[in-house]
Amino acid sequence: MTIEAVIFDWGGTLTPWTSLDPHDAWRAYVSTRHADDDARAAELAVALATAEAARWATVRDSHRAFTTAELIADAEAGHDPSALEAYRGFWVQATRTDPEAAPMLTELRERGLLLGVLSSTAWPAQWHEDWLSRDGVFDLFDACVWSSDLAYTKPHPTAFRAAMDALGMAHPERCVYVGDRPYDDISGAKSVGMKAVLVPHSDIPAVQQVPVDVHPDGVIASLADLPELLADW
């Protein structure tokens, strides 16, 4: 059956994987929130990192989505826009779109394919879309879906169906999902009837890995290889 849509994971796929310590991100947050109280800042940084780890463990085990605002509330940190901006600023170093993405996406669009994003993330949609716009690729997508706006993350079927709905796709067998994680991306996509392409170049932390017996429909070493792989699908 003819492929009509290609949906991409964001972190580790469109954006190359970067290994950073999330504690450092929260240290950036608390250095703004408690600039004059080192002890309180250190205590809060630990609380925030612990709350985040607990939320991601829930994602791994039951796929419940969450937002950055919710985990900050979990740590009883309170809302501080300046501190949140410092936190966001820390992560900018890990948000650069793969240079191969734009020409690859352009080629797929020229074939008439619909293009989308589905990402498991706690961050607001606007952050991601600002970064994609900065890198000149946001307008190449027909729809972007972020789990921070959903009840569930990947690999839950409702996340993949939300991406299909955003693209106006009713038939999963006409969709391809491209991602770097066998569990979240490949098994999740195939469980709803999509084809799946693995990009196995991310150093996924052991705590985030879930063993799964699943086989992608294709494997590529780089995003530039995707148009050729899909040429006969």
201 and 115 in a single domain? The answer is yes
113 and 224 in a single domain? The answer is yes
What pLDDT is attached to residue 139? 98
**What pTM was estimated for this model as a whole?**
0.94
Domain hosting residue 67, numbered range: 22-93
Instruction: Indicate whether 32 pLDDT > 90.
Output: no
Q: Which of 77, 93, 109 is the last residue of a domain?
A: 93
Q: Amino acid identity, residue 124? A: P
- What's the pLDDT tens digit per position in 183-233? 999 999 999 999 999 999 767 766 666 778 889 999 999 999 999 999 989
Which helix (H) or strand (E) element contains residue 85?
helix 81-91
Average pLDDT on 153-182 reads: 97
Q: Which of 36, 58, 93 is the last residue of a domain?
A: 93
206 and 136 in a single domain? The answer is yes
Mean per-residue pLDDT of the chain:
94
How far, in Å, CA of 96 to CA of 127, rounded? 12
68 and 169 in a single domain? The answer is no
What pLDDT is attached to residue 208? 64
Lowest mean pLDDT among 89-93, 142-146, 155-159, 198-202: 198-202
* Domains: count for the chain: 2
- What's the pLDDT tens digit per position in 168-178? 999 999 999 99
CB atoms within 10 A of CB 117: 23
Give start and end residues of each alpha helix (H) in the chain: 22-33, 38-62, 68-74, 81-91, 101-110, 125-134, 157-167, 188-191, 226-230
